[in-house]
């Protein structure tokens, strides 16, 4: 897969949407992070459901991409806790889409764009 050069981390993130990526598979999580950063989103990572709750409280992401099948605390359980968390009042957590693994990065991009209602373009070279 051919990705364009990353934009400088020093570039302004004002106005960019923040996405929390939660997956216990570190390789997949890193791939999603790289793809979303190159699509001009800010990203935050978590490897567990419990870590996802902590990160969501700390960073107030615009969107959460959550693996449903994780040990200790599943994605469904973590989302239920997030929805019930009073510190996240006003944080819109509607039921989202399910993207089954393996998936195409284009499908991921389309889903993110749909949920954030942003006119982002996929990285160059992505069909």
**Residue 8 counted as domain residue:** no
State pLDDT tens for residues 54-76: 999 999 998 999 999 998 899 99
> pLDDT band for position 13 (50/70/90)?
low
For the chain, state the CA radius of gyration: 14
CB 111 within 8 A of CB 99: yes
Domain encompassing residue 69: 18-116
Q: Where are the beta strands (DSSP E) in the chain?
A: 18-22, 42-46, 63-66
pLDDT at 27 (0 to 100): 96
DSSP strand pairing (42-46 vs 18-22)? parallel
As given in the structure block, the two tokens for residue 16 are 């960019």
The CATH code of the domain that includes 80 is 3.40.50.2300
In a domain, 72, yes or no: yes
* Domains in the chain, number: 1
CA distance 76 to 79: 5
């Amino acid at each position: 897969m051919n990705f364009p050069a990353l934009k400088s981390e020093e570039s302004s993130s004002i106005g960019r949407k923040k996405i929390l990526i939660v997956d216990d598979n570190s390789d997949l999580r890193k791939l999603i992070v790289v793809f979303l950063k190159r699509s001009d989103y800010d990203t935050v990572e978590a490897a567990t459901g419990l870590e996802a709750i902590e990160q969501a409280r700390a960073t107030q992401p615009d969107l959460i991409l959550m693996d449903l099948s994780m040990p200790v605390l599943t994605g469904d359980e973590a989302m239920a806790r997030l929805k019930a968390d009073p510190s996240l009042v006003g944080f819109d957590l509607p039921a989202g889409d399910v993207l089954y693994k393996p998936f195409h990065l284009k499908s991921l991009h389309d889903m993110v764009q749909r949920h954030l209602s942003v006119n982002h373009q996929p990285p160059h070279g992505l069909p």
